[in-house]
Structure 1
Amino acid sequence: MRVPDLSFLKQEAEGGCGVVGLACNVPLEGKYLLQSLVQMRNRGNGKGGGIAALGLVPEQLGVSEKILREDYILQVAYLDRAARKQVEDEHIRPFFRIDHESRVEAVDDYRSIPSLAVEPPEVYRYFVRVKPEVLADFARKNNLQSLKDDELEDEFVYQNSYRLNLQCYSSLGEKKAFVVSHGKNLIVLKLVGYGDDVVKYYRLEDFKAHVWIGHHRYPTKGRVWHPGGAHPFVGLHEALVHNGDFANYHSIMEYLAQRNIHPLFLTDTEVSVLLFDLLSRVYKYPLEYLIEALAPTTERDFEMLPDEKKKIYRLIQTSHIHGSPDGPWFFIVARNDVENNAWQLLGITDTSMLRPQVFALQEGPVKIGIIASERQAINAVLGRLQQDGRIPSRFADSYWNARGGSYTDGGAFLFTVKGGEDGKELECDDKFGRVISLPEQDWLPGRRTAVALNVSVAIQLPKKGPHSQDPLGFYAYVRPALRDAGFQYAGEILEELKRLAWKGQESRRFAIQSLSLLFDRIYDTGYKKRSSLLHLYHEALNEIFSSVPLSNYDLYTRLDWKNRSRLVHPGLVRERMD
């Protein structure tokens, strides 16, 4: 009996947005972000998607390194293309020195991307600095002479974008144009669609950046089906994507209004990044205190803090608790730390950890940190990088979760790309500034798949006794040897298991279950990186699965996307799908 086609039935949406961020010591192309967004497409619904890129390559933008470092990248999305001259004449050219301007490249016909039901906006990019006379007049009229020059210029850019959005977009007005981003060395692009549609539509597959973030789905407040309502949202030098929903959205709106900050897009994600910008740029909180203001430490975790931290945290909570987001949320932030010439990727979880979050790190000549809503998105990035020969393994050296509002890690981790002796370096820290370091271990030799293993001598698996067809016994037998032996020994084990898989269905079951134990269990790998062993196990399992026939009458049957129509009900009650 064949399973009927039920594709016409409405499916319940995945419970949460898809968010991902990656930071690397070398610039990575957008195709790697695309891979993770495609993997998480089930978390989207085609009504909002966006990306941000930080730490860009000047040659790709047609500017010098000096201009890229010093200029603000003002990006304006024109919903009404005829409005561009008016917007430029009223909001850009009178106030800014424009060092370079261009239209952001896009595909010729948006309908060539099937999931785009709404034409994305035309985006123009301006590399700008505020004219000196304009800045002096702004300081005098607003009594801001005490600010440093860069602080004053930041504030002018911020307020000018607010005025442009208020006149040309705000949620209750006519929508002609809006500022997508205006920070230094940072761009944002978004549309009504999926996050991967952004990469395809704006031709970002080969566009390079040190830090990327991406988002599927729409904001949980405000006008959701409009490009201005999609994530990421920007403060000034930071862009934020968000999975969750605030229970105290209006409380935070009031908190911001008391400080003369008035959101225009009416989304909880917008107020999140405005709050982040307020604490960072205006109040100049160190990152630890900023995170504490957003996700306060409570109960036992608070009591476990050192006395000095308790004193400071209590003052922060007293001042900001009514502006702290309440409810399920997880933030990923791409931030240009202009003052310290560093690019940052930050993940923060709510105190109760009510939204999924995974962090990962792979070290090597190409060192990469990734944050995502789920592990499959992380592995999609690493798998593509390994396939292209950029990294040694398709798995991270370490995966972990943040514990919200905790005294141990603070519920947040930060990847920072900064200058080093031989180019850029990537460092990972927790909320308290403690460096996350991994043990020094060896990678799998060779840049691509399995090392050229010498398998002339297969291991002698015990022929009798409890080990013969007992995967747990086999695992207990080889585990100590995997700690002490080299990669060649691991390769010989895998070759023997693959050979056994051809001997019959029971032997195949034994091989699959044994490899699954090696893949899933945590054990001491000695001087070998666990990520490299996982890579070998994954390849061996793939080879065995690929050798399984398409027959529906064997103990195991192969089912892939191409042959999905062959799925049938089990013939016997005891049969199941492993």
Structure 2
Amino acid sequence: MSRENNWDWGMHNPSGCGISSLMSLKRKLFRGNLVVRSLDNMVERGNGLGAGYAGYGIYPEHEEQYAFHLMYENIDARNFTEEYLSRFFKIFDDEPIPTRPMPGIRTAPIFHRYFVLPTEEALGTNISEHAADEFVVRHVTEINSSQKGAFVVSSGKNMGVFKGVGFPADIGGFFRLDEYQGYCWIGHSRFPTNTPGWWGGAHPFTMLDTAIVHNGEISSYGINRRYIEMFGYRCTMMTDSEAIAYLFDFLHRKQRLPLELIPAIFSSQFWQNIDLMDEENKKLHETLRQVYGAALLNGPFAIVVGHRQGMFGLSDRVKLRPMIAARKDDVLYIASE
């Protein structure tokens, strides 16, 4: 479970990956093996060094609590992190994340999940949902950057991320996704090219209930990372996909921008196209580019974002990475390569 944060900050992570996602618009539940099977159809888009899934609606019995999925290198790391969590959170339930042996997975970290809320003492007088979210972000960031041998895989409500080193079918079987039911699933098959494949480096990357899967290369990673770290986020994974997850959390949750404006920031219009807009839209897009210019994603990419309000897909401005969307009955599908 070796981290990637010892790598040179000047490195980036170009990759060729596969994405598959599906969501019931009526929030009907379906098993996770559907997205596993769809990713397995494009197994050539990965090389066995990473695959992962995010499921939404999978913990209805704990829907008001933050579901922390953690991976540990050893028992000592788990004991130390659990002591840390107990100081700041009320733990309503915890258990090992169920797994099954898979031929393609020889070694794996320890996986455990916790259903928690910040304690009243830790939050103080500010008990709003925004304050609780910010409290969780702060402590997830602290664990991921400072707790040796521990990594928070996901921390949202009524959702969870399952990821690791292996092909999509290996990871789906290992985490027994056929036993989970959710209304939205996003999946990713990874092909890292110049950073090592490790369990924490697989997609999706998350912050609270936002999960990002990404196909391509963000050539603007350096400026994106420096920009987001100005606001207290810490990029420790040495991959551009992590920065996208934090940018989305910052823009939507902290800046409270509507979802409809996020694509206009991540994949903004060219200036010559903005000049052709009517005055109202021209002013809006000029302002977004001026205020959030450092959040522009450059390079070939296709991303799918899962969050509590649904999911959306986005590709780069000149479509250097393909993206296909379809709808059948009440189910929306988005895929890339």
**Residues 310 and 156 of structure 1, relative CA distance in 2, 3 Å threshold:** same
Determine the structure 1 residue equivalent to 2:103: 114
1:166 lines up with 2:145 in the alignment: yes
Aligned twin of 1:371: 334
Match of 1:87 among 77, 81, 95: 81
2:144 partner letter: N
Closer/same/farther in 2, CA of residues 194 and 116 from structure 1, 3 Å limit: same
Q: Which residue of 2 aligns with 1:28?
A: 30
1:125 to 110, 113, 120: 113
Matched, 1:184 2:186: no
TM-score, normalised via structure 1 length: 0.54
Check conservation: 1:191, 1:230, Cα contact below 8 A: yes
Is the radius of gyration larger for structure 1 or structure 2?
Answer: 1
In 1, Cα distance between equivalents of 2:160 and 2:44: 26
1:304 Cα shift?
A: 4.5
Given that residues 16 and 191 in structure 2 are in contact (C-alpha distance below 8 angstroms), is that contact kept between their aligned partners in structure 1? no
Given that residues 50 and 203 in structure 2 are in contact (C-alpha distance below 8 angstroms), is that contact kept between their aligned partners in structure 1?
yes
Alignment-mate amino acid for residue 360 of structure 1: A
The alignment partner of 2:57 has SS state of strand
What residue in structure 1 maps to residue 287 of structure 2?
A: 315
**Alignment partner for residue 235 of structure 2, among 257, 260, 263?**
263
1:71 CA displacement: 0.6
What is the DSSP-based 3-state SS (H/G/I as helix, E as strand, rest coil) of the residue aligned with 1:280?
A: helix
Partner of 2:90: 97
- 1:15-68 CA-to-partner distances (Å, cap 9, x unmatched) read 82011110013111012111101101010101111110012253xxxxx3xxx2
Cα contact 1:46–1:116 (8 A) shared by 2: no
Higher RCO structure, 1 or 2 (CA under 8 Å, sep 6+): 2
In the TM superposition, 1:108-257 aligns within 5 A as: 109=101, 113-117=102-106, 119-136=107-124, 149-169=128-148, 176-218=149-191, 223-257=195-229
**Higher fraction of strand:** 2
Q: CA deviation at 1:218?
A: 4.3
In structure 1, C-alpha distance between the alignment counterparts of 2:305 and 2:108, rounded to whole Å: 24
The answer to whether the Cα contact below 8 Å between 2:264 and 2:288 also exists between their aligned partners in 1 is yes
The yes-or-no answer on 1:348 pairing with 2:321 is: no
The alpha carbon displacement at 1:101 in A equals 1.1
Name the counterpart of 1:19. 19
Q: 1:54 aligned to 2:43?
A: no
SS at match of 1:345: strand
Would the aligned equivalents of 1:334 and 1:345 in 2 still touch at CA under 8 Å?
yes
Give the letter for the 1:41 counterpart: V
**Is this contact kept in 2: 1:218–1:230, CA < 8 A?**
no
- Distance of 2:146 and 2:232 partners within structure 1: 18
Deviation, structure 1 residue 236: 1.6
Shift of 1:115: 2.6
Letter in 1 for 2:268: P
Stretches of structure 1 that go unaligned for 5 or more consecutive residues are 1-14, 59-63, 140-144, 170-175, 338-343, 375-578
Q: What letter corresponds to residue 230 of structure 2 in structure 1? A: Q
CA distance in 2, matches of 1:219, 1:81: 29
SS of 1:179's partner is strand
- After superposition, where does 1:519-538 map in structure 2 within 5 Å? none
Q: Contact 1:29–1:205 (CA<8 Å) still a contact in 2?
A: yes
Q: What amino acid does structure 2 have at the position aligned with 1:167?
A: S
Q: Taking structure 1 as reference, are residues 240 and 335 closer, same or farther at Cα in structure 2, changes over 3 Å only?
A: same
Asked whether the equivalents of residues 274 and 286 of structure 2 are also in contact (C-alpha less than 8 Å), the reply is no
| Aligned match of 1:294 | 266
Provide runs of 4+ in structure 1 moved above 6 Å.
none
Q: 8 Å contact 2:165–2:171 — kept in the other structure?
A: no
Unaligned runs of 5+ in 2: 1-14
Match in the other structure for 2:7: none
1:135, 1:153 within 8 Å by CA — same for their partners in 2?
A: yes
Q: Deviations over 1:448-486 (max 9, x none)?
A: xxxxxxxxxxxxxxxxxxxxxxxxxxxxxxxxxxxxxxx
In structure 2, give the amino acid aligned to 1:99: F
> Can you list the C-alpha shifts for 1:257-277, whole angstroms capped at 9, x where unaligned?
222322111210000101111
TM-aligned CA distance change 1:183 to 1:40, over 3 Å: same
- Matched position secondary structure for 1:46: coil
SS of the residue 1:325 aligns to:
coil
Percent identity over the alignment? 32
Structure 1 residues 286 and 219: alpha-carbon distance in aligned structure 2, compared to 1, 3 A threshold? farther
Q: Distance in 2 between matches of 1:19 and 1:201?
A: 19
Provide the C-alpha distance between the structure 2 equivalents of 1:204 and 1:72, rounded to a whole number of angstroms: 20
Conservation of the 8 A alpha-carbon contact between 1:49 and 1:218: no
Structure 1 pair 56/213, CA: closer, same or farther in 2 (3 Å)?
same
Aligned equivalents of 1:349, 1:153: Cα separation in 2: 32
**Correspondences of 1:354-393 after superposition (within 5 Å):** 354-363=320-329, 367-374=330-337
RMSD: 1.8
Task: Give the drift of 1:82.
Answer: 3.5
- State the TM-score, normalized to the length of structure 2: 0.90
